[in-house]
Every structure is written in C-alpha cells, then in structure tokens.
Amino acid sequence: MVQELFIDFRDTNSTVNIPLGENVVLFGENGAGKTRVLRTIHSIIELSKASSSAKLSNILKDLNIENFKLNGVKYDELFKGKTRLVSRENDRFREYFQEYKELFKMYVEMKMDFISTGLVIDNFSNADIRRCREALDYFVRSDFPNDFSPNLIRRWAYDTSRVSVSLLKDDSIHSSRIERDLYEYERIIEQVINNYVHNFGAINALAKTQRLDNKKSKLKKELASKSSIVISTGEKDFELFFTEIRKRVLDFKTSLFNSLWEQSGTPSKVIDEINLLKRKVIRFNDVISRYFNLVIELDRSGEFTFYKSGSELEISKFSSGERNIIFLFFNLIFIDVDIYLIDEPEISLSLSFQKRIVGDIFDVVKGKSVIIATHAPYIYKDFKSYSTNNKVVKIENNVRY
C-alpha cells in the first residue's frame, strides 16, 4: 500500500506530500528544505521500528518541521500507544466480567456437553454446531476475561447462541434437568452481557477508536518493514562504507569457519552471498565505465583497490565529481534497501554526467524506490521523462514570518 507522507515546515510556507513506495523527485531551490525531507523520511522509518515518539519529536524539532502525517494520521497519534478510551474500556470490561467468571465456566461446560448430544445434531446445521464449538473451545483455551474484549464477547455470545435450548421446537426436551439448567444459564449469560453493553460499554465509540488503533498499527508495521538510506554526495563518508564491506567479508569468513569447525558442511547461503558480492563488483565496474576509465578490485580482506586508466590510485586522488559518482554507485549497488534517498546527485558533476545520471540510477536500483532531491534542471527533466509513473514534488522557498 502506498503511504502518503505530509510534511509541514515551521520556518517556511512549504508543505510537502510524498507518496512513499513510489519514485519521487523533490525539485526546488537551495534552502527550500529538500534535504530535510529526505532525512525526515529516513528518521521516521528507523524510529518506527522502535516506536519512539520522544526521539522523533526531537528530530522534528532539529529539522524545523512543524508536523507530519502518514495517510492522514498525525505522528503523535501514530507513535503513541493505544488510546486511553480503549485502555479504560478494556480495564472496565475485565473488572465487570471477572465477577461472572465461574458462571461462564459452568455455562461453557454445560453447553459443550449439550452440543455432543444427538438432539443437537438432529436440530442444528453442521455450520452452526461448528461455530458454536469453536467459540466454546476458545473459552477453554483462553484466560477469561483477560483474553476477551468488548467486541469479542458479543461475537462470542452470538456464536455460542447458534446452538441453544431455546431454539428447540419440541417442549418435551425441557423435561431433563440438563436442558432446564442450560436454558436458565443461557438466559442469565445473555442478560449479563446485555447489562454490560447497555450500562458500561461505549461500543460504537470504542469500535471507532479500535479501528483507528488498528489503522495506526498497520501503518507502523508497514513503515517498520521498510529500509532506507540517505546518500549525500556532499557529505561523503567512504570510510564508513568501506567498514561496512569489511564487516560483511569478515562475517562470511566467520560463517565458513564455523561451518567447518562444527562439521556442518559449507553453507550454500554464505557461498551465494560471496558470489553476490563479487557480481556487485562486476556490476559497479560496468556502470562506472560509462563515466571514466575506472576498475575496482575487492580482495579477501574486504579491501578495495582502485585502478584509473590502469594505474592504482587512492580514492582521495580522484576529482570531486569522480568521488561523488563512485560514492553514489557504491551505495546504490552494494547497500540493499527498499528506498534510496539521494540528496543532490548533481553536485560537482559535469553537464554530460548530469544528463545520464538519472537513467543509470534507475538501471541500477531496478524495482526499488528512489526519492531524489535536486535543484538541477537536467535531473528534474530526465526524471520526469524516464517514466510517466515518476512523481514530481516542487518545494518552494517561501519564508514564514
């Protein structure tokens, strides 16, 4: 499901609507807040995994963001727990039905004996008997009333009443003590539940609130299931990237050693991961050759060696534009996430590089989502023309006084 993100800045008149899960270009002048949008998206995805409203509030303050909504739900609603109405009603529900716990246990025992009789089989459909039995079995397995809720008790009562003594047409069946007692228990149980509904349960308001809670929970789960990375060529950190690759190679070695030590055989999954890393090196060399004569090699220690025009060269010796291109495609090819948040990929690039960068980005990520922040006309136009499904969000730099 596409999630619509609404962001309202505190210091400008700009409001931004972004469909997460789709390809989007954020187009606007410097200082309009494009980078802040990328960092906000990354922050809420990461914090949704921890459900930290306090941390998110601090981040929003740092980014000068007044508010944001996800599918119409405000962040403070999205990240807080269940509403007080739901908690209060559930507490009241448990307190009320705790007094009738033994009564319900007796009712369930009698009803289970009753539905096993030939009388029931002859007078009720298999579907009604099955639903009634499932409801009774749930009661036996659960901790009543703690595992129940206001809405669940009504559904449970409806299912258990599908097979009822009162529905039998032959009055003679009431002659046995079991049927007479069960008939009385059915009447009392119905009255107990009705008393709760009429005197305590704000069922309609509660149901609406629970639907909102369910919606929030679903949104948070979908958000938490995503992964993202902010790629900013203006803040390149090659060492952080290199450390990640070294760690990955070390993990491969550890897994292989453990499998041999434990004599469990060479795990095919690790071999597949190693081969995937090698293929990514080949993929990187293919893409980067479209820009300049560069080849990289990755050794068994996880160290990269760079060869420009056949000569080994340290990464620091490349031009600013070359380092930006290298850093961008390193992250796009070697880091696997759901959403790539790319901040101004045009920085320090020649016009010829700018004209081809969008096509190569989409060629590399294939099937993943891309959100690009840019003020470069070439990036903006190429992004629009690449696919009719790509979305454009213009951000105006109107200062709020």
Q: Using 50, 70 and 90 to split pLDDT, how confident is the model at 217?
A: low
- 93-111 residue pLDDT tens: 888 899 899 999 999 999 9
pLDDT greater than 80 at residue 277: yes
Say which DSSP state 72 is in. Answer: T
pLDDT for the residue 210: 59
Long-range contacts of 59-67 (CB under 8 A, 24+ apart): 63/36, 63/39, 64/9, 64/10, 64/11, 64/36, 65/7, 65/8, 65/9, 65/10, 65/36, 65/40, 66/8, 66/9, 66/10, 67/7, 67/8
Beta strands at 73-74 and 65-70: parallel, antiparallel or unpaired: antiparallel
CA distance 128 to 160: 9
- 291-308 residue pLDDT tens: 999 999 999 888 899 999
Residues 34/97, Cβ–Cβ less than 8 Å: no
% of the chain surpassing 90 pLDDT: 25
pLDDT for the residue 401: 34
Q: Using 50, 70 and 90 to split pLDDT, how confident is the model at 123?
A: confident
Name the packing angle between helices 203-224 and 34-48 (round to 10°).
Answer: 110
CA distance 315 to 325: 12
**Secondary element (H or E) of residue 309:** none
Q: For residue 287, give both structure tokens.
A: 């893409």
pLDDT for the residue 39: 86
**Range list of H helices, 262-376:** 268-288, 320-334, 351-365
pTM: 0.64
pLDDT greater than 50 at residue 400: no
Say which DSSP state 12 is in. Answer: B
pLDDT greater than 60 at residue 206: no
Q: For residue 297, give both structure tokens.
A: 């090699």
Beta strands at 311-312 and 391-394: parallel, antiparallel or unpaired: unpaired
Report the range of poorest mean pLDDT among 55-59, 93-97, 143-147, 159-163: 55-59
Report how far Cα 144 is from the mean position of its chain's Cα atoms: 32
DSSP 3-state assignment of 18?
strand
pLDDT for the residue 218: 67
Residues 6+ apart with CB under 8 A from 133: 112, 115
What residues are paired with 25 via a beta bridge? 372, 392
- 222-273 residue pLDDT tens: 777 788 899 987 777 888 888 888 888 888 888 877 777 776 666 677 788 8
- 14-56 residue pLDDT tens: 678 888 878 999 888 776 678 888 888 888 788 777 655 566 6
Query: What average pLDDT does this structure show over 365-393?
Result: 86
CA distance 184 to 186: 5
Report the range of poorest mean pLDDT among 164-168, 272-276, 304-308: 164-168
Q: Which amino acid is at 34?
A: K
pLDDT for the residue 65: 72
Q: Which amino acid is at 401?
A: Y
What residues are paired with 229 via a beta bridge? 340
- 46-98 residue pLDDT tens: 877 765 556 666 766 777 777 777 777 766 666 655 555 456 677 888 888 99
pLDDT for the residue 69: 75
Report how far Cα 311 is from the mean position of its chain's Cα atoms: 46
CA distance 30 to 12: 13
pLDDT for the residue 265: 60
pLDDT greater than 90 at residue 134: yes
Computed over every residue of the chain, the mean pLDDT equals 81
pLDDT for the residue 273: 85
Q: 239 or 136: which carries more pLDDT confidence?
A: 136
